[in-house]
Structure 1
């Protein structure tokens, strides 16, 4: 009995550690906690501004409607590549949902959330279960490596002229006032 009492803290710690490692939602919850205390802020100190030809880069929604990025010139384009099995993707989803809620009625900003597994039915169920009303898309063309290579999550933003203005691989808290200001600045820049 003494041995069990001595090791109960170790057993609890080991159980918690295993849950964080093996259960995607537990890992996402842990990462989300780190986000709220200031870790994982997107780097806006060194914005990119490289021109890109967006013509022919296409995504399709669950209904089969295709969107060509070349047709969106004049709008800020926010693209997030994610997957349902990815704990960091799950962790940043609430901040993305809040950011989207701020701009969803703004005709000058377009959000595209791309399921990297291209299983839109599974992703739509994931979104519905968590009550995220994010615009969900899959791939409908080849994606240039400067936009998305393979790391999840990856977020890219194009300004109104179609220039790549932000690219971040990995988790970030996008529900940050500096980030909202960054998008508003891109909206007002011609």
Structure 2
């Protein structure tokens, strides 16, 4: 009996390591317990607040994108809006784990024209990404890079999330899995939305 329980334990551990779906399920459980909350530093918030004495600095990051239908866009087209960019891949367990929380956040803003969600699949495999979203019943706007990705946004660690303010400045970056479904994220996004570009 002890041998059987040891085998089951080993299989479970190996599954968590090598099977992204099993790993994602375990990580989602940890997120529900309150782990993996984002550290929301309001580094750029004071730049655009009314009556701010600081000078407004606008970054000019270049990133061209293609959506699932082949439509092209860029960060330049999104200026004046809060942009939530999530870098992910279909094989990435932590990416899979955080996707439901991103969809929950997006659902809060799906009718808000001042917010854009860019779920950026870094491998460029449209068929695989489409199948992934359909199999998990996720309704997120998937994009693919059509130019070099700024290193200020993404250095290769998945998942990575970048939130840009309306002026195109980086308001927040998280490397690694995070739960985006909390009220603290909504409050942070709302502050960014309230700012003038």
Pairs within 5 Å for 1:1-190: 5-44=1-40, 46-49=41-44, 51-54=58-61, 56-190=62-196
TM-score (norm 2): 0.90
* Partner SS state of residue 11, structure 1: helix
CA contact (8 A) 1:51 1:164 kept: no
Q: CA deviation at 1:171?
A: 0.4
**1:103-122 superposed Cα distances (whole Å, 9 cap, x missing partner):** 11110000000001111221
* Aligned match of 2:52: none
Is 1:154–1:167's contact at 8 Å kept on the other side of the alignment? yes
CA deviation after TM superposition for structure 1 residue 98, in Å: 0.7
Please list every run of 5 or more consecutive structure 1 residues that lacks an aligned counterpart in the other structure. none
Pairs aligned (count): 184
Deviation at 1:51, TM superposition (A): 4.0
Runs of 4+ with >4 A deviation: none
When the two chains are superposed, the root-mean-square deviation of aligned CA atoms in Å is 1.2
TM-score, structure 1 normalization: 0.93
